[in-house]
Amino acid sequence: AQSVTQPDIHITVSEGASLELRCNYSYGATPYLFWYVQSPGQGLQLLLKYFSGDTLVQGIKGFEAEFKRSQSSFNLRKPSVHWSDAAEYFCAVGGYNAGNMLTFGGGTRLMVKP
């Protein structure tokens, strides 16, 4: 069965500092990997996704993520965090399977200090 683990429930960083959010997945075949961001009371906005090819993917709002198959990880990074980045971040895994379901991690809540 597919699963996603986001080890950090809460992270606090100072504005302008770098950020890395961790994501580990378990999936029996070639994974499709996603990062979504959710502001309070809002929907899910896709930051970036990985299917194949270059293991470093660029997304919106200056985010990037690196797929490391050997570590079953897909960590999200941003070199300089802005106060508007405060939100909840969800990693998800899916694939080429019946039902095409996505499995989400528990999320990481990011707080940004001024």
Alpha carbons 114 and 5: distance in angstroms, whole number: 29
Instruction: Decide whether 9 or 14 has the Cβ nearer to another protein.
Output: 9
Contact (CB, 8 A) for 93 and 103: yes
Alpha carbons 77 and 66: distance in angstroms, whole number: 8
Amino acid (1-letter code) at residue 18: S
Instruction: Decide whether 70 or 100 has the Cβ nearer to another protein.
Output: 100
Which residues pair with residue 12 across a beta bridge?
111
* Site stretch for another protein (CB under 8 A), options 15-23, 44-52, 53-61, 66-74: 44-52
Count of residues that bind another protein according to CB under 8 A: 26
Chain contacts with another protein (rule: CB under 8 A): 32, 34, 36, 41-44, 46, 49, 51, 90, 92, 94-107
